[in-house]
């Protein structure tokens, strides 16, 4: 066991940044309500603000001095806590993923952060988080994890011998730009801007809110539309730049039966996960990428290592690739995947009605509320009927399935004009739920729900309105595999 070590002092800055990011609304509120002179009518005095700042700065310093780590050939141990000391012991054999993050300002100092996850945790945080440590220490911990069954000395920290990767994928500038352009990032950006603007009146003084309302109320329709278009263009540019900077120089490598992704401009993010712990592979295509014959490849892992503040839990392995090349390329990294696209069994045409009916029924409630409360403009909500019908039709035409040999189940579903093709090894399927309503019995129909572990929770993939014979065939296949 090595001697217990503190994090680098730079980690204090990281702790302060995390606190600021999680309490930004509080600081905005205090800033606009602080009393800068005796005549101001405010809620907070300068002395009170200074006291809050002092506590805010002292907390990360205390956390820094209370957090130490040590490791040996078999495990990593994290010590933390001031009044209640915690000792988190992590054997290397239990590690699910290792994530390295290096901001650009840490690179000259050879420092980075390290996050380690196991399959046993049940919250949204990594099992071990070392905010700022030397790069060679982080690499030694990863070496020890990789060679947990071998003897490796921890007395000296030396660079490991170079292992040639078995497969490498580097994204090109054109592919990265194409991936950013075809990503549907405008809508979330507009929603975020709208949410922030709708909450400003809670933090800004009344005279600022009144002035803003007066300004927008006097705008002409043409100027208001121009302003909306400018905001939309700005949101699109921000979305494009965010994706390009996040996946800048993205690379996927396969080494020693592990996949490693690395990318990022301001922050280089490296995630390593064993191939045998991948729960499933998902090939996604939005309707735009379907028209352009492009696909995105994700792996579903029982970890949050791939998750960010605005992202899902999937580990992106190939951002964008042509349909013709996707299976040949990904097969080189994950050998249990088929090298060619399997032939899928689609639902019969007479099942389309059920999907359209369900989607239209769901849309009736918001349409009715809009017509009742916002008449006559609420009648525009009737357009949702066409949108719901198209969603139902799309979902029905994308629902499909196949079995690859006796080892793998392939499922295809449609969600919000996005096609998702899942490849599930039988041993990674947590459970299969076979169910049908009393009305479906007479029509020989059934639903199947396939459950797999996704991040720290469950993901249910549902095949709806299968024939009873087909549903029983898949259900019995799963039972035989676990017999």
Q: Could you tell me if 72 and 179 lie in one domain?
A: no
Q: Pick from 395, 428, 451: which residue ends a domain? A: 395
149-182 pLDDT, tens digit per residue, is: 444 444 444 445 556 778 899 999 999 998 988 8
Helix residue spans in 301-382 (DSSP H): 326-331, 352-373
Helix (H) or strand (E) holding 454: strand 445-454
Alpha-helical regions (H) of 155-297 = 173-181, 186-199, 206-217, 221-246, 287-291
342 and 463: one domain? Answer: yes
pLDDT, residue 341, reads 86
Asked whether residue 113 is assigned to any structural domain, the reply reads yes
Structure tokens that stand for 309 in this block = 């503040």
Mean pLDDT to the nearest integer, 202-231: 67
Q: Are strands 258-263 and 267-274 parallel, antiparallel or unpaired?
A: antiparallel
Domain check: are 340 and 219 in the same one? no
124 and 26 in a common domain: yes
Q: Is residue 282 part of a domain?
A: yes
The verdict on 219 and 293 lying in the same domain is no
Give 391-428 pLDDT, tens digit per residue. 999 999 999 999 887 788 999 999 888 999 999 998 88
Residue-wise pLDDT tens digits, 448-464: 999 998 877 788 999 99
Are 293 and 310 in the same domain? yes
Check whether residue 367 and residue 268 sit in a common domain.
Answer: no
Same domain, 266 and 376: no
Same domain? For 309 and 341 the reply is yes
Q: What does the pLDDT average to over 288-296?
A: 91
Residues in the chain: 483
- Residue 22 in any domain: the answer is yes
User: What integer pLDDT is reported at residue 311 of this predicted model?
Assistant: 47
Q: Are 442 and 369 members of one domain? A: no
Domain count, the chain: 4
CB 15 within 8 A of CB 131: yes
Instruction: Select from 325, 345, 307 the least CA-distant residue to 467.
Output: 345
Q: Is residue 169 part of a domain?
A: no
Answer yes or no: do 353 and 280 share one domain: no
Range of the domain at 447: 251-347+399-481
Q: Are 23 and 57 in the same domain?
A: yes
């Amino acid at each position: 066991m090595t001697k217990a070590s503190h994090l680098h002092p730079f980690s204090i800055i990281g702790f302060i940044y995390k606190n600021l990011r999680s309490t930004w609304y509080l600081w905005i509120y205090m800033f606009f309500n602080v009393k800068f002179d005796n005549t101001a009518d405010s809620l907070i005095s300068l002395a009170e603000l200074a006291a809050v700042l002092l506590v805010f700065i002292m907390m990360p310093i205390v956390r820094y001095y209370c957090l130490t780590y040590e490791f040996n050939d078999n495990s990593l141990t994290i010590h933390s806590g001031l009044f209640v000391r915690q000792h988190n012991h992590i054997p290397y054999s239990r590690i699910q993923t290792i994530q390295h993050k290096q901001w650009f300002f840490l690179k000259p100092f050879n420092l980075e952060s390290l996050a380690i996850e196991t399959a046993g945790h049940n919250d949204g945080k990594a099992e071990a988080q070392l905010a700022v440590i030397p790069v060679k220490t982080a690499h030694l911990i990863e070496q020890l994890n990789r060679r947990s069954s071998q003897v490796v000395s921890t007395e000296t920290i030396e660079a490991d011998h170079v292992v040639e990767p078995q497969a490498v994928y580097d994204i090109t500038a054109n592919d990265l730009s194409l991936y950013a352009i075809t990503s549907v990032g405008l809508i979330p950006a507009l929603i975020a801007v709208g949410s922030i603007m709708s909450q400003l009146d809670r933090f800004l003084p009344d005279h600022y809110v009144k002035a803003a309302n007066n300004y927008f109320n006097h705008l002409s329709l043409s100027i208001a539309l121009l302003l909306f278009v400018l905001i939309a263009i700005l949101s699109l540019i921000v979305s494009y730049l965010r994706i390009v900077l996040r996946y800048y120089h993205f690379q996927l490598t396969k080494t020693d039966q592990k996949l490693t992704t690395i990318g990022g401009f301001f922050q280089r993010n490296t995630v390593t996960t064993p191939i045998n712990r991948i729960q499933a592979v998902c090939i996604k295509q939005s309707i735009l990428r379907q028209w352009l014959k492009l696909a995105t490849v994700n792996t579903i892992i029982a970890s949050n290592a791939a998750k960010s503040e605005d992202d899902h839990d999937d580990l992106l392995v190939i951002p964008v690739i042509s349909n013709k090349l996707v299976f040949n390329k990904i097969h080189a990294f994950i050998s249990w995947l088929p090298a060619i696209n399997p032939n899928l069994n689609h639902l019969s045409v007479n099942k389309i009605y059920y999907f359209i009916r369900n989607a239209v029924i769901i849309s009736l409630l918001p349409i009715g509320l809009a017509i009742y409360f916002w008449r006559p403009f609420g009648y525009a909500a009737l357009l949702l009927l066409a949108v719901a019908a198209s969603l139902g039709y799309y979902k029905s035409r994308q629902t499909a399935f196949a079995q690859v040999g006796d080892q793998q189940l392939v499922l295809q579903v449609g969600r919000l004009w996005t096609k998702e093709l899942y490849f599930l090894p039988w041993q990674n399927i947590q459970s299969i739920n076979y169910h049908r309503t009393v009305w479906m019995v007479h029509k020989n129909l059934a639903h199947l729900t396939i459950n797999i572990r996704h991040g720290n929770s469950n993901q249910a993939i549902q095949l709806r309105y299968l024939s009873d014979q087909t549903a029983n065939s898949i259900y019995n296949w799963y039972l035989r595999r676990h017999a």
